Amino acid sequence: MSSGAQVLHHLSLRKNSSPRRGVTFKDGRIEWSFVVEERWPDIFAQCRSLGLLVNKSVKQKLLDLDNPVAVLSQAPHIGINKGILDSAKLQLLISRSKETEGQPLEDSMATETAQSTSEQVEKEPDPSLKPDSKQQSEQQKPQQETKPQVGRVIAPINTPEPMAPVRMHGLPDFSLDDFPLAASEVSTDITVHFDITGKSITEGKMNDISSLFNSRLESIRKMIIAGRLPTRHSEIAKLQANRRAFTGFDNIACAIGLINEPRNTKNGHLIFQLEDESAEMTCLVRKSEVDPNPYIQHGLMPDDVIGVSGSFSQSGDLFYVDDLHFPPLNRRQRTSATDAAVSVAFISDIHVGSKTFLAAQWQKMAQWFHTDPLARTIKYLILSGDCVDGVGIYPNQDKELAIPDLYDQYDEFARLLHLLPDWVECIMLPGNHDAVRPAEPQPALEPEIQQAYNTTTFVGNPCDFSLHGVRLLSYHGKSIDDYVAGMRNVTYSNPVQAMREMMTRRHLAPQWGGKTPLSPEPEDNMVISTIPDIFVTGHVHGHACIDFKGTTLVCSSTWQDQTSYQKMLGFQPKPCILTVINLGTHKTASIPFA
């Protein structure tokens, strides 16, 4: 038999016999050594739990013992809990084990450790050296009883200081000092300023549509006039009648109206129709290399209400726009709930009933609510629409549903909300997947669905409300689809830019006939009449929390994994991030659960 065959044959025998010690084979120039250490993982785990470090010599001695784990278990009883485990300490452990279990010592181990221990014994002072007075006074002090220190101290091992956990997803850290008040110490305080529920009176006729746009024009025109226009605005019909007075650069004319058909010309200019109650005129924003206009680059939304200032062309067919005027949006001072500094949390697009609903991450969040100190400050949880996946929302949706019945989806979501602690008050509004009309503004869910929920306030979409005096505007965000399609600076990967554009225009969904169905109410309830302290949307399965001129913009995170449609688009959602804002300090925290 060759040397290699002998080794393989020996290895097969070792698997069956599992001896304790290694065996060495020599074959001329080659030496084969195999050490079987089947028990070492258990021994190493025991040493690690005790904070002990083991060198090679002690490792082998541990392997030679019949019951090394039992020997190591004696370490806490004799004060050996951290540091290097040398032969002297091992001897003490074996002695302790012998006293408790009556196990005999091995002669070789006893001899070696006796020598090692003798070197560690405190030496007698040399009589030839006379200690000074300070040393004599120290020797005369009564010695306190201390545990014997065995072995040489390589380096002091201190108790590790607690470290903050690593923040995932690149989210900013936060301090609990910014969240000072427990939710259980404050009563619920919700004041709804606008909710379409029970107030929709439209019949869907042309008069209703005309009334809607007249209401929008009148509301936003007042906001623009409150700003600084270069001159007094006039009706478009009056300007056209006196166009010769506003030809050239001597006189400047101002008008305010609705934008129709905004587009870029071949030369890069921006052209659109401006319409008010009296007439319509063609406006041109000329491209300038010296002072580029951002709206030429980004575009305008159809049905925007905007002010223009400029002059007419010589022919009078065009109105050359020198400047565009939106409602003023200055930095504001936030309202703070100083006497009720509890927190509000935001999530959206849970999509219960879908096969891609992240149930395990929801359970993780529910457990966090019961155990984390930050969670105890959360008094309100805002659910910004699409809490269930719905039925018949898009073609072949039934193939992607784990719960095919709509009412069963709502019952399951009610069960999931019941996992949260009692101090959390939920505020729930619908989205485009929920069982309400698709036209916005949407009313709250039907009472038949609401009866399965506890500690939940149902509102419409959008909803303007206050929590302890802090103003919030919650909107599901379906019109973000129109902003992505109409403006070149808005993308699904950066949905918070759409929220900035909504605030600039003071309107949530300006485009009629786009991707967002609108209900022609006599009054345009999608106008942002009051600037909120917190503005929150959802819908696009992203996440953001930023400050914009004194308003905190929150794009709520989803609880749904990437869908087949998102895979087709190459869009990666940002799921399972809970956004928390304190109503007293306005400090924010983003907690990931994925």
The pLDDT tens digits of the residues spanning 125-150 come to 444 444 444 444 444 444 444 444 54
Cα 245 from Cα 311, distance rounded (Å): 9
Cα 137 from Cα 181, distance rounded (Å): 57
Whole-number pLDDT of residue 378: 97
DSSP string, 355-388: TTB-HHHHHHHHHHHHH-TTGGGEEEEEEES--B
Whole-number pLDDT of residue 18: 38
Looking at the fold, whether 450 and 380 belong to one and the same domain comes out as yes
Establish if 387 belongs to a structural domain: yes
Whole-number pLDDT of residue 450: 95
Query: What is the average per-residue pLDDT within 514-521?
Result: 95
- Residue 439: pLDDT band by 50, 70, 90 thresholds? very high
Query: What is the percent of the chain with per-residue pLDDT over 70, rounded to a whole number?
Result: 81
Query: What is the percent of the chain with per-residue pLDDT over 90, rounded to a whole number?
Result: 60
Looking at the fold, whether 294 and 408 belong to one and the same domain comes out as no
CATH code, domain carrying 546: 3.60.21.50
Tokens at 519, concatenated: 């209900």
Q: Which of 267, 294, 325 is the last residue of a domain?
A: 325
Instruction: Label the pairing between strands 551-555 and 318-325.
Output: unpaired
CB-CB contact of 283 with 318 (8 Å): yes
Tell me the residue range of the domain where 576 lies: 339-499+534-592
Establish if 245 belongs to a structural domain: yes
Cα 397 from Cα 324, distance rounded (Å): 44
Our CA dihedral for 209, 215, 221, 224, rounded to 10 degrees, sits at -100
Whole-number pLDDT of residue 555: 97
Q: Which of 115, 144, 173 is the last residue of a domain?
A: 115
Whole-number pLDDT of residue 103: 47
- Packing angle between helix 107-120 and helix 87-101, nearest 10 degrees? 120
19 pLDDT higher than 60: no
Looking at the fold, whether 490 and 411 belong to one and the same domain comes out as yes
Taken in order 34, 39, 41, 45, the sign of the CA dihedral is negative
Cα 550 from Cα 490, distance rounded (Å): 21
Looking at the fold, whether 44 and 30 belong to one and the same domain comes out as no
Looking at the fold, whether 426 and 478 belong to one and the same domain comes out as yes
Q: Which one is predicted more confidently, 8 or 176? A: 176
DSSP string, 22-91: -EEEEETTEEEEE---TTHHHHHHHHHHHTEEE-HHHHHHHHHSS-HHHHHTTGGGGT--SEEE-HHHHH
Whole-number pLDDT of residue 158: 54
CATH code, domain carrying 265: 2.40.50.140
Is residue 209 within a helix (H) or strand (E), and if so which, with residue range? helix 206-226
Instruction: Label the pairing between strands 343-347 and 470-474.
Output: unpaired
Looking at the fold, whether 248 and 311 belong to one and the same domain comes out as yes
Establish if 120 belongs to a structural domain: no
Close Cβ partners of 138 (under 8 Å, ≥ 6 residues apart): none
Close Cβ partners of 280 (under 8 Å, ≥ 6 residues apart): 236, 257, 260, 273, 274
The pLDDT tens digits of the residues spanning 69-86 come to 888 888 888 878 767 788
Q: Which one is predicted more confidently, 513 or 19? A: 513
How many CB atoms neighbour CB 580 within 10 A?
Answer: 21
Cα 484 from Cα 88, distance rounded (Å): 73
31 pLDDT higher than 50: no
Establish if 97 belongs to a structural domain: yes
CB-CB contact of 267 with 347 (8 Å): no
Query: What is the average per-residue pLDDT within 189-200?
Result: 96
45 pLDDT higher than 70: yes
What is this structure's pTM?
A: 0.71
Establish if 122 belongs to a structural domain: no
220 pLDDT higher than 50: yes
Q: Which of 277, 302, 325 is the last residue of a domain?
A: 325
How many CB atoms neighbour CB 246 within 10 A?
Answer: 21
The pLDDT tens digits of the residues spanning 238-259 come to 999 999 889 876 789 999 999 9
Establish if 320 belongs to a structural domain: yes
Q: Please state, rounded to an integer, the average pLDDT across all residues of the chain.
A: 83
Looking at the fold, whether 433 and 550 belong to one and the same domain comes out as yes
Looking at the fold, whether 553 and 454 belong to one and the same domain comes out as yes
Establish if 565 belongs to a structural domain: yes
Establish if 297 belongs to a structural domain: yes
Cα 354 from Cα 377, distance rounded (Å): 31
Looking at the fold, whether 426 and 491 belong to one and the same domain comes out as yes
Taken in order 189, 583, 531, 381, the sign of the CA dihedral is negative
Close Cβ partners of 79 (under 8 Å, ≥ 6 residues apart): 147
Amino acid of residue 61:
K
Our CA dihedral for 187, 193, 196, 202, rounded to 10 degrees, sits at 160
When divided into structural domains, the chain yields a total of 4
**Core vs surface per residue 152-172: b (16+ CB within 10 A) or e:** eeeeeeeeeeeeeeeeeeeee
Looking at the fold, whether 222 and 369 belong to one and the same domain comes out as no
Looking at the fold, whether 403 and 463 belong to one and the same domain comes out as yes
Query: What is the average per-residue pLDDT within 451-478?
Result: 96
The pLDDT tens digits of the residues spanning 294-352 come to 888 899 999 999 999 999 998 889 999 999 999 999 898 999 998 899 999 999 999 99
> Count of residues for the chain?
594
Looking at the fold, whether 352 and 439 belong to one and the same domain comes out as yes
Close Cβ partners of 8 (under 8 Å, ≥ 6 residues apart): none
Tokens at 55, concatenated: 């060198």
- Residue 116: pLDDT band by 50, 70, 90 thresholds? very low
